[in-house]
A and B are shown apart, each in its own frame.
Chain A
Amino acid sequence: MSIAEIVEKHGNDRENLLQILHDLQDCSGDHSLHHDAMVQLSRIMNLTVADIVGTASFYSMFSLRPRGRHVIRLCESPPCYIKGSENILLALEKRLGVSVGGTTGDGLFTLETTSCLGVCGVAPAMMIDETVYGNLTEEKVNGIIDGLVKAA
């Protein structure tokens, strides 16, 4: 979808900016909001670029930097913490060779931490793209990553 089409779909109104940014990011190919896209958007919506960037940067689901093909978001809120999310983070960092915020050299994974994902019943939990994984152990995490690498 082009930027104009996305704006058209939601309606050219400030109110719809978040919904527009969601779609824009989904269409970006690298899970991020590109600067030139936001410049274009600012013209279409008659908003300043600073306003759009400022709004986008407030929300943790939007990224202004390109991210890998898969975005890993590990929950580090207290209910996951007491079930060992710290060790899971170490396991992920070890397996991927990047620290939080980093993207692997092959561009396959970006590692992020997040606040509660609302699946604390199966803590510790993480989301990779749209899929939630729970009851994580180091072994399980490695298996999940292996699976995604193989599928790539």
Chain B
Amino acid sequence: MSKPRMFLLVPIDANTVIAGAREVKNRFSLEIGKRGLAGEAKVIETGSFGPADAGVVVAVQPDGVVYGRLAPDDVPRIVEEHLVKGRPYVERILPGEKPPPPPESEDARHTQLHGRVVLDNCGRIDPDSIEEYIANDGYFALGQALTAMTPAQVIEEVKASGLRGRGGAGFPTGLKWSFCAPVKAREKYVICNADEGEPGTFKDRLIMEGDPHKVLEGMAICAYAIGATRGYVYIRGEYAISIERMQRAIDAARAKGLLGRNIFGRGFNFDIEIRKGAGAYVCGEETALIESMEGKRGLPRLKPPFPAQSGFRGMPTNVNNVETLANVPAIIRRGAAWFKSLGTAGTPGTKVYTILGHINRPGLIEVPAGVTLREIIEEYGGGMQSGSFHMAQLGGTAGDILGREMLDVPLDYDALQKVGHSLGSGAILIMNESVNVRDFLHACLKFFHHESCGRCGPCRNGLHVLRDITGRLKDGKAYKDDPGLMQEVALALKSSAFCPLGQSPAAPIMSAWRYFKDDILSGVDSNAARPRMARSLRADLSAAI
């Protein structure tokens, strides 16, 4: 059969399926077949390559044209105009999108747009095809690790790369593995944390939907390094497409002997299972996740012992985020030095962000660590959709709120720390003046209040108080001492809550106070008097925490 001349890449992910991507894809296959172009143009189902709010998206390669907001009825026109006559159908072109390179071109792999590492295959290969993953260097790193490296060398390489955990805390990954590796036990586990409950974050979903084998390969390399024989992917229950794709990927890898017994003939046994979450943000915390995997309420455990000592079933367990694991194959294949050459000294490599809010092109981007907020808005987000920049929240609801002053600070763990902020989980929410900081804080506190697991007093009671204060601020009915009390309680939680969920509301509250003090104070009603009950509640609270 002749080699296809054109490729139509159709991302099928949760965002595009909503808009009818499956129907559009089927229609393309039908129309192409009808016109006898089947040998020349190939329709490929892929994961997302970025845009999240552009309806059904199709990239035509090698022409470099990206169409968006397609309906099935646009398909005959595009086939007629573009595929047959070679004239792109301008009415449906998405401006400003750079398409992924064609799947089978020689230099496609390493001339990725923005130098992608984690997302290099996303939107380019068929996530359900293990062959395509393998054709793009897939499972090469696992083979390399198993045949040419000792577990200790793998850990050294990951350590040398400077890779830091992408689940929010930024803990050095190689170091984490080195805690688990020497522990002697009957069985050890690798858990991939795919709970992704942080509002505004959906990078892990798109990685799993776009390139599931990369996550599996990262897990297998980790397992070899620390001596684990079983792996689990804990995926939140709402992520139906991710669960399906990951399961098919596991089945395919097993069928090819890349999971299971005696992998690469090196006597290494490792298999992976999926565990489905049931809707609880706190289960993203690694010890709560382990409790949940044991079939219990997802209450965080006391640390130490850390999971590396005693985790799932009381055995040594290594928990890593999806994106962290997806970085591992490239590090092994191309070396720590290469990885370090990307990004900044404190945060090597790239960072995957989800950018959303009032910008023109919300979606998934992978950029070198250290770009600034301004660059993200202008270059990647296509500028503000309406109005001008008012504030941003970095790292999801548990993250800091930043004002205009911070537009030019490089986004890496260390540079942000210097100015008193942190990077968090990779969500960047951009807001224009239509959003009032008081309303926004209340929305954040409602979230925390809902998700508190209730295990410890400070969080259980404190979030109640904070939710009510922010509610009063929102309504312009706050008592005079509410702003002060809000900070007092937030800081008390930060120092006394059992787990980071209760500690983190201080981040949005204190940073909002830093940049938007006047806005917050405008929610105070100077005539409002605090009822007696509440005053004693306050005394109780200060006594309790």
Contacts and interface: CB of A to CB of B under 8 A. Distances in A.
Interface stretch (B94-102, B272-280, B407-415): B272-280
A79 to B, nearest CB: 5
Contact of A55 (B295, B364, B439): B295
Nearest to A55: B297
Given A77-B447, A115-B451, A121 B202 contact: yes
Interface in A111-145: 114-123, 127, 130-135
B440 interface: yes
A122 B439 CA distance: 21
Nearest to A15: B295
Contacts, number: 142
B197 interface: yes
A13 B434 CA distance: 51
Interface string B198-226: 11111001000000000000000000000
A130 B451 contact: no
Secondary structure at the A interface, as helix, strand, loop or mixed, is: mixed
A80 to B, nearest CB: 8
Interface stretch (A1-9, A58-66, A90-98): A58-66
Interface residues of B, number: 57
Interface string A51-76: 00011001111100000000000001
Q: How large is the interface on A (under 10, 10 to 19, 20 to 34, 35 or more residues)?
A: 35 or more
A35 to B, nearest CB: 18
Contacts of A121: 15, 52-53, 202, 354, 356, 362-364
Interface of A: 13-19, 21-22, 54-55, 58-62, 76-83, 114-123, 127, 130-135
B202 A120 contact: yes
B280 A59 contact: yes
Given A58-B298, A122-B52, A132-B14, A18 B199 contact: no
B239 interface: yes
A61 B429 contact: no
Contact of B199 (A62, A79, A131, A132): A79
19 contacts: A15-B294, A17-B295, A18-B275, A18-B295, A58-B297, A58-B298, A59-B277, A77-B443, A78-B393, A82-B435, A115-B197, A115-B450, A117-B238, A118-B238, A119-B15, A120-B200, A121-B15, A121-B364, A132-B18
B196 interface: yes
B143 interface: no
Please list the 10 inter-chain residue pairs (A to B) with the smallest Cβ-Cβ separation, ordered nearest first. Answer: A121-B52, A17-B295, A77-B199, A59-B278, A116-B199, A60-B279, A61-B279, A81-B443, A58-B297, A118-B202
A134 B450 contact: no
